[in-house]
Structure 1
Amino acid sequence: MNCDLDHLAVLAATLEEGAAWCEATLGVAPGPGGRHALMGTHNRLLRIDGEGFPQAYLEIIAIDPDALPPGRARWFGLDDAAEQARLRRDGPRLAHAVLRASDVDVMRQGLIELACQPGPMLSLSRETPAGTLSWRILVRDDGAIDLAGHLPTLIQWQGAHPTEAMPASPLRLRAATLGGLPARVRQLLRLRGVKGTDDGPAVSVTLDTPLGEVTLRSDP
């Protein structure tokens, strides 16, 4: 069982700031996304699939100011006060990688046996003009990400994948590295197309863009 890179999460203080960052940094405006009622967030999406990275996309995500309080911690650590202050001060940033697995239950149990805390399974869905998107995803109750923010989130789509309804884009993901993953975790995940290392940033990627080659890194 292998894991593929499903999408990259770029956190933003507001979705408008995230879209502006995308245009300035990658030379492309992000496409539409949707709202996540359970998490009180919303997003915009952009395909980045390239050779070795089928169905990969970029997600710009922010707290939805029009949503009701979710009554739980939001994913990707978006409720963390220090994270929010940083996003307001420094602007949007690449923060996290989400991996696609064919059986998230098995992968979750494997991570737990390796003393990781990936969180419980959530079954979510949202309506789109192209139909319903449904997925299962591991999210900790406190919204934190294990291994000091380095453990990638695991997702399993049920039915259609969101890239099927996304227009083509000029962006192509050329290389991706996930850092700070112990060897036993890398062996479990069996990363396909993605390099895993013991140290370094949680995620670093190189993309071909209309502005040329662009490299993005999360914090080491």
Structure 2
Amino acid sequence: MNADPIRLTLDHLVVAAETLEEATAHAEAALGQPLVPGGKHVRFGTHNCVAGLADDLYLEAIAIDPAVPPPPMPRWFGLDRFRGPARLSTWVVRVEDLDAALAVLPMAGEAVDMARGALRWRMAVPEDGALPFDGLFPALIEWRSPVPAGTALASTGRRVTRLQIAHPEAEALAALLGPHLDVPQAVFETDDVPSLRATLEAPDHRRVLQ
């Protein structure tokens, strides 16, 4: 018997870089507003900065934390392999039941319990840390906190109006996610070069984060 369908909704976008300073600067340039310090993820040896977006979404800048020793397992978001300039690297979708979601989409990884300050959540992380489809398969998150990060952060007023997922196998990715995906901003496009591109709109301007 097939597992029941699961609903994937957009939770946040992730900008990665070799340093947190680079990731933060790249995110701020597109956002037009500063990010605020987030904190450390001890389990994966990373740290981040964040900014709230409209619709209870948020933007995260993340990088390896050089002040802590490497973790015993590969870092999430493929950060161990990350090279080059800062860029929009990952989209994260929220699920109500991560175990049920992984029964349907086991390629997303294994459930990992996470905490930072008052926040509690579960995240699907592949064994090697790298998400399928060259990192463009969405990361799955289940919030355990009464108030998720996107709701807790003050909104900058920027709204994600389009999320372009470009990949040589975009059609296969869209078919895999399609029965469960509730992200109207998502557009899948076939391209030789895998990439993410998000359009952020405010009343006075439109900017692109890539």
The TM-score by the shorter chain falls in which range? 0.7 to 0.9
State the 1:209 CA deviation: 4.8
Question: What is the aligned partner in structure 1 of residue 116 from structure 2?
Answer: 126
Question: What is the aligned partner in structure 2 of residue 24 from structure 1?
Answer: 29
> Which whole-Å CA distance do the structure 1 matches of 2:69 and 2:58 have between them?
27
TM-score under structure 2 length normalisation: 0.85
> Which whole-Å CA distance do the structure 2 matches of 1:198 and 1:148 have between them?
14
1:15-45, Cα deviation, whole Å (9 max, x unpaired): 1222222333332110120100000000000
- Please identify, of 29-38 and 146-155, the stretch whose mean Cα deviation from structure 2 is larger: 146-155
Residue type of the alignment partner of 1:162: A
Contact 2:94 2:142 (8 Å CA) reproduced: yes
State the 1:174 CA deviation: 1.8
User: How many pairs are equivalent?
Assistant: 198
Contact 2:11 2:150 (8 Å CA) reproduced: no
- Aligned-pair RMSD on alpha carbons? 2.1
State the 1:103 CA deviation: 1.4
Residue type of the alignment partner of 1:155: I
Question: What is the aligned partner in structure 1 of residue 136 from structure 2?
Answer: 150
Classify 1:45/1:104 alpha carbon distance in 2 versus 1 (closer, same or farther; 3 Å): same
State the 1:57 CA deviation: 0.6
Contact 1:10 1:95 (8 Å CA) reproduced: yes
TM-score under structure 1 length normalisation: 0.81
Question: What is the aligned partner in structure 2 of residue 56 from structure 1?
Answer: 57
Residue type of the alignment partner of 1:212: H
Contact 1:110 1:188 (8 Å CA) reproduced: no
Q: Between the two proteins, what is the percent identity of the paired residues?
A: 34
State the 1:196 CA deviation: 4.4
SS at match of 2:113: strand
State the 1:8 CA deviation: 0.6
> Which whole-Å CA distance do the structure 2 matches of 1:100 and 1:41 have between them?
21
Contact 1:136 1:157 (8 Å CA) reproduced: yes
Residue type of the alignment partner of 2:45: G
**1:93 and 2:87 are equivalent in the alignment:** yes
